[in-house]
């Protein structure tokens, strides 16, 4: 069977895998984004203990393989009575891992915003939290949008590790098709193209978003 | 209105302010002049605690603002500040720049905030720029918007930190004009500037600072016409 026959014949396998890959990527991106902002703010906290926890979080998650983190959560935590379904474990791993990378990106963005912006906001009576929300974060996120896009793309691709604990994502389904058809290469080509379409679309969408956010800088 | 008592500020081992005493009265226009590094900007930034003083006391409308328990945010609502680098919010339109603090800090109704903002735009002569972004404005226009933004909080005093120093020469006039109008309307103002002509014309009182202290002060004709101290004479001979 050629690659097109495989893609067509086993379309239900691939579409079902796509569903799980997308679900995990969306969960990882969304919660990773929220958690990343929180971690980056903690890293700049005035309290050393919060700074320490956030720094340890980032360093540990960046310094260990994501696959090891996934196994620790899925096979390690049950030893302490915390059991998750494969999808839950996958979502948690992607979330915490991307939160570490995104936190560093946000921190760079926040520190890149001109100090005068904070001073202007504070001089108008805006409190620290308000200043962060209305003045600093919007500018910071705009400045680091390309880096955030990279991280989102990474999450989509790296989500494939969840096949190792039995989540039926794209990679898992490709291997199922291989088992049925004895075709080693073609199913992998099909999902490679699918991954590429996902990431390429995302990168184009982010490009459009970037240009729109830049309109206020035009001269 | 503002009383400064033995104000000190140091950055590490570097002493910038070495004991400033000053009373500023309601409606008064105080202009601070002096060579670079004399501490005049630091002094101004201490008045709304953008710089935390290392010693001394500041009271505003009878209340100590340097005490640990004081909530400086409440005081800052009543103290407008204009910066050398304008510091407009680049991601917001002119109107949004002006309305943000009244909406979020004062919790004004949107309709009321917009009415005040449009009046202020009229005052600074930029009503047609309401929907422009800061990047589309000239330096002089930016600074006039920054003044309008500070005024939108209806402050009791306005602090100006070298408001014309970052401007091309042909735009200095339009900003000074707005400030002059403000002074004529009775606004209490503290202005750090290098514009000696303006200081002389608009100031009720001139402070000459050097080396972290107020060397000399008095009304403009006295300080400019008949300076008492050698350092004042020396400075004025260089800038006039």
Question: Inter-chain contact A125–B83, Cβ cutoff 8 Å?
Answer: no
Q: What is the pTM of this model?
A: 0.85
Per-residue confidence (pLDDT) for residue B64, from 0 to 100: 93
Instruction: Look at residues B228, B232, B180 and name the one whose alpha carbon lies nearest to residue B201.
Output: B180
Distance between B43 CA and the closest CA of chain A, angstroms: 15
**CA A12 vs CA A9, A15, A87: distances in Å:** 8, 5, 20
Tens digits of residue pLDDT in A15-47: 999 999 999 999 999 999 999 999 999 999 999
The strand pair at B157-161 and B188-192 is best described as parallel
For residue A212, the chain B residue with the least C-alpha distance is B91
Q: Is the confidence at residue A74, as pLDDT, over 90? A: yes
Q: Is residue A87 part of a domain?
A: yes
Per-residue confidence (pLDDT) for residue A213, from 0 to 100: 78
Per-residue confidence (pLDDT) for residue B240, from 0 to 100: 79
Question: Inter-chain contact B149–A124, Cβ cutoff 8 Å?
Answer: yes
Among candidates B91, B101, B146 on the partner chain, residue whose Cβ is nearest the Cβ of A126: B101
Question: Inter-chain contact B101–A125, Cβ cutoff 8 Å?
Answer: yes
Q: What is the ipTM of this complex?
A: 0.93
Question: Inter-chain contact B76–A124, Cβ cutoff 8 Å?
Answer: yes
Number of domains forming the structure of chain A: 1
CA atoms within 13 A on the CB side of B129: 25
Distance between A118 CA and the closest CA of chain B, angstroms: 9
Residues in A lying within 8 Å of B, measured between beta carbons: 114, 116-117, 119-127, 130, 134-135, 138-139, 142, 215-219
Distance between A28 CA and the closest CA of chain B, angstroms: 28
Tens digits of residue pLDDT in B78-124: 999 999 999 999 999 999 999 999 999 999 999 999 999 999 999 99
Per-residue confidence (pLDDT) for residue B68, from 0 to 100: 84
Per-residue confidence (pLDDT) for residue A192, from 0 to 100: 96
Residue pair A33/A127 in contact (Cβ under 8 Å)? The answer is no
Residue pair B158/B183 in contact (Cβ under 8 Å)? The answer is no
Q: Is residue A177 part of a domain?
A: no
Question: Inter-chain contact A123–B76, Cβ cutoff 8 Å?
Answer: yes
Segment A167-195 mean pLDDT: 94
Residue pair A99/A37 in contact (Cβ under 8 Å)? The answer is no
- CA triplet A158, A161, A167: central angle to 5 degrees? 125
Interface test with B, best of A124, A133, A135, A138 (most B CBs within 10 A): A124
Per-residue confidence (pLDDT) for residue A217, from 0 to 100: 60
* Cα separation, A50 vs B78, whole angstroms: 34
Per-residue confidence (pLDDT) for residue B232, from 0 to 100: 94
pLDDT band of residue A219 (cuts 50, 70, 90) is: very low
Residues in B lying within 8 Å of A, measured between beta carbons: 48, 50, 73-74, 76-77, 79-81, 83, 85, 87-93, 100-101, 104-106, 133-136, 146, 149-150, 153
Among candidates A134, A135, A219 on the partner chain, residue whose Cβ is nearest the Cβ of B135: A219
Q: Return the CATH number at A147.
A: 1.10.3720.10
Q: Is residue A206 part of a domain?
A: no
Residue pair B234/B215 in contact (Cβ under 8 Å)? The answer is no
Residue pair B39/B53 in contact (Cβ under 8 Å)? The answer is no
Whose tokens are 């997308």? That residue is A22
Q: What is the DSSP letter of B59?
A: E
pLDDT band of residue A215 (cuts 50, 70, 90) is: low
Question: What residues make up the domain containing A150?
Answer: 17-170
Other Cβ atoms closer than 10 A to A10 = 23
Question: Inter-chain contact A126–B105, Cβ cutoff 8 Å?
Answer: yes
Tens digits of residue pLDDT in B124-137: 999 999 999 999 99
Q: How many CB pairs under 8 A join A and B?
A: 76
Which CATH number is associated with domain B28-49+78-237?
A: 3.40.50.300
Per-residue confidence (pLDDT) for residue B69, from 0 to 100: 86
Ranges of chain B whose pLDDT falls below 50: none
């Amino acid at each position: 069977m050629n690659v097109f026959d495989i893609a067509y014949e086993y379309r239900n396998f691939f579409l079902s895998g796509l569903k799980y890959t997308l679900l995990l990527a969306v969960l990882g991106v969304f919660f990773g984004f929220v958690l990343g902002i929180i971690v980056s703010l903690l890293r700049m906290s005035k309290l050393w203990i919060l700074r320490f926890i956030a720094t340890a979080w980032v360093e540990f998650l960046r310094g260990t393989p994501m696959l090891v983190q996934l196994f620790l959560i899925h096979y390690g935590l049950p030893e302490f009575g915390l059991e998750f379904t494969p999808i839950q474990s996958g979502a948690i791993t992607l979330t915490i891992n991307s939160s570490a990378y995104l936190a560093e990106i946000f921190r760079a963005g926040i520190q890149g915003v001109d100090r005068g912006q904070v001073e202007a906001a504070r001089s108008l009576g805006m409190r620290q939290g308000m200043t962060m929300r209305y003045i600093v974060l919007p500018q910071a996120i705009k400045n680091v949008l390309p880096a955030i896009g990279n991280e989102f793309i990474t999450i989509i691709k790296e989500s494939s590790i969840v096949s190792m604990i039995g989540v039926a994502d794209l990679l898992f389904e490709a291997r199922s098709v291989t088992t049925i058809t004895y075709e080693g290469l073609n199913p992998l080509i099909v999902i490679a193209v699918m991954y590429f379409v996902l990431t390429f679309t995302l990168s184009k969408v982010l490009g459009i978003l970037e240009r729109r956010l830049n309109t206020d800088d035009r001269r | 209105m503002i009383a400064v008592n033995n104000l000190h500020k140091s950055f590490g081992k570097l002493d910038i302010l070495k004991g400033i005493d000053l009373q500023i009265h309601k409606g008064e226009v105080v202009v601070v002049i002096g060579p670079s590094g004399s501490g005049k900007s630091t002094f101004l930034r201490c008045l709304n605690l953008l710089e935390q003083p290392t010693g001394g006391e500041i009271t505003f409308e009878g209340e100590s603002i340097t005490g640990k328990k004081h909530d400086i945010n409440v005081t800052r609502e009543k103290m407008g500040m204009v910066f050398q680098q304008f510091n407009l919010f680049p991601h917001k339109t002119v109107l949004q720049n002006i309305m943000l603090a009244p909406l979020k800090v004062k919790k004004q109704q949107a309709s009321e905030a917009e009415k005040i903002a449009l009046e202020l735009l009229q005052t600074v002569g930029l009503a047609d720029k309401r929907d422009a972004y800061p990047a589309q404005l000239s330096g002089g226009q930016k600074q006039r918007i920054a003044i309008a933004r500070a005024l939108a909080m209806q402050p009791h005093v306005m602090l100006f930190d070298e408001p014309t120093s970052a401007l091309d020469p042909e735009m200095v006039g339009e900003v000074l004009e707005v400030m002059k109008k403000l002074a004529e309307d009775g606004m209490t103002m503290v202005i750090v500037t290098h514009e000696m002509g303006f200081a002389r014309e608009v100031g009720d009182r001139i402070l000459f600072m050097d080396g972290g202290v107020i060397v000399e002060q008095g009304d403009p004709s006295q300080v400019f016409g008949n300076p008492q101290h050698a350092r004042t004479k020396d400075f004025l001979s260089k800038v006039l």
